[in-house]
Amino acid sequence: MQTPTATKATQLIAASQRMTLDPFTEVDWSIPIDDSAYHLPPDKLPLFGTAQWEGMTGLQRREYSRHECAALCAAGIWFENMLMQTVLRHLANLPVTDPTHRYLLVEVADECRHSTMFGEYIRRAGTPAYAPRVDVDVFGPADGLPGGRAMAYLLILAVEELLDVCNRATMRDHSIHVVSRQIAKLHVIEESRHVSFAKTYLCDVWPTLTDEERNGASEFAPHAVGFVADLMVHDGVYETLGIEGGAFAARNNPINRMRVVRDLAKLTGFLEGLGVINDSSRAAWVERGLAA
Ligand SMILES: [Fe+2]
Ligand SMILES: [Fe+2]
């Protein structure tokens, strides 16, 4: 009998055949990426509601949103690079006859297109290349973390869910710059397949782990997800724009901290159901500012 992961992979291959999008035809790159509109919804910007935000003109806020959007795209490229490494290592261990094999290659191909799309936005937005300022190996050996490959997929899911909430808000808001909305829409459509795969895989694999592996993973997960959430604020944005105390204000902004908890709610709800967040690990999620 097929595992739910194998069945899901077959369904997702069919869904990918029905809809796979090319960012160089779906996104209208002839439209200038300028400051005529916000590039992210204002309430998704880390500085929203702070004294620094209140002190900005409308134009400065829109310019800041262009830099935040570029930083988010750069974080997206970085995350996609890291998670592709996880998927490629998974592929290296899978026989080609496994139904998951073809799907995982489709997922890698999706991420390659997404990263070219994010890169194109950054180049056209005229901002610096805001790559996260961390060692590239920090996420790379995720398979070796507590819980092994399950933890690696949990991290993939965390990144995808966090970006998904922001992407959905962006694509639905008609006042946002059209290029940003087109990018967000493409990403939402294709990432929904990845989210669905990661969840099915985790539900399949989690019960097969030993108690020791499960406990280790439960204990480690809030730190790993916290690390991902922290990368959503990039000091370089504030340095480039000369916003005094901007990075500190963004990290300590109670409005932004509440937003992170809200944006992670789908993930944390799923992890509660799975048992990753349980009575002994819940406090660490709250302490880390990831759950209420
Ligand atoms: Fe992606
Ligand atoms: Fe993805």
In the predicted model, what is the mean pLDDT of residues 186-193? 96
Evaluate whether 184 touches 168 at the Cβ level (below 8 Å): yes
Measured in Å, residue 111 CA sits from the centre of ligand 2 at 6
99 vs 256: CA distance, rounded Å = 41
Distance 50 CA to ligand 1 centre (A): 30
d(CA 115, CA 129) in angstroms, rounded, equals 13
Say which ligand is closest to the CA of 187.
1
68 lies in some domain: yes
Question: What count of other Cβ atoms lies within 10 Å of the Cβ of residue 6?
Answer: 16
Q: How far is the CA of 80 from the centre of ligand 1 (A)?
A: 6
So what's the pLDDT on residue 74? 96
Predicted local distance difference test score (pLDDT) of residue 139: 61
Q: How far apart are the CA of 167 and the centre of ligand 2, in A?
A: 13
Output the CA 69–ligand 1 centroid distance in Å. 15
The secondary structure of residue 38, as a DSSP letter, is B
- What's the token pair of residue 162? 């966090």
pLDDT for the residue 135:
74
List, as one string, the DSSP characters of 103-118.
HHHHHHHHHHHHHHHH
> Is residue 265's pLDDT more than 70?
yes
For residue 27, is it within any domain? Answer: no
Please identify every residue whose CB atom is under 5 Å from ligand 1, which is an ion: 111, 114
Instruction: Establish if 212 belongs to a structural domain.
Output: yes
Buried b (16+ CB within 10 A) or exposed e, 76-99: bbbbbbbbbbbbebbbeeeeeebb
Q: What is the mean pLDDT of residues 102-118?
A: 97
Question: Whole-angstrom Cα distance, residue 182 to residue 106?
Answer: 21
pLDDT at 136: 62
Range of the structural domain that residue 187 is part of: 36-287
Give the Å distance between the CA of 73 and the centre of ligand 2.
13
Q: Ligand 2 centre from 66 Cα, in Å?
A: 23
14 inside domain: no
In the prediction, which pLDDT does 141 show? 61
User: For ligand 2, a single-atom ion, which residues have Cβ within 5 Å?
Assistant: 191, 194
Give 80 Cα–ligand 2 centroid separation in angstroms: 7
What is the tens place of the pLDDT at every residue in 23-73? Answer: 999 999 999 999 999 999 999 999 999 999 999 999 999 999 999 999 999
Instruction: Using DSSP, state whether 131 is helix, strand or coil.
Output: coil
What ligand has the least distance to the C-alpha of 117?
1
CATH number for position 280: 1.10.620.20
Determine the residue type at 15: A
Domain count, the chain: 1
Query: Cα–Cα distance between 115 and 127 in angstroms, integer?
Result: 16
Query: Could you tell me what percent of the chain has a pLDDT over 90?
Result: 84
In a domain, 28, yes or no: no
pLDDT one-digit tens code per residue, 113-168: 999 999 999 999 999 999 888 876 666 666 778 788 888 899 899 999 999 999 99
Q: Is the dihedral of CA 236, 247, 223, 273 positive or negative?
A: negative
Measured from the alpha carbon of residue 195, the closest ligand is 2
Is residue 79, in this structure, part of any structural domain at all?
yes
**Cα angle value 30/35/38 (rounded, 5°):** 100
Global pTM?
Answer: 0.94
Task: With respect to residue 110, please indicate whether it lies within any of the assigned structural domains.
Answer: yes
Half-sphere exposure of 128 (CA within 13 A, CB side): 12
Residue 31: per-residue pLDDT: 98
Residue 170 near residue 40, CB atoms below 8 Å = yes
Highest mean pLDDT among 64-68, 232-236, 287-291: 64-68
User: Which ligand is the nearest neighbour of the Cα of 196?
Assistant: 2
Ligand nearest to the CA of 115: 1
Could you tell me if 232 and 264 are in contact, meaning their C-beta atoms sit under 8 angstroms apart?
Answer: no
Residue 4 domain-assigned?
no
| Tokens coding 221 | 């997960």
Residue type at 154 in one-letter notation: L
* Ligand 1 centroid – CA 109 distance (Å): 10
Q: What is the DSSP string of 144-203?
A: GSTTTHHHHHHHHHHHHHHHHHHHHHHHH-TTB-HHHHHHHHHHHHHHHHHHHHHHHHHH
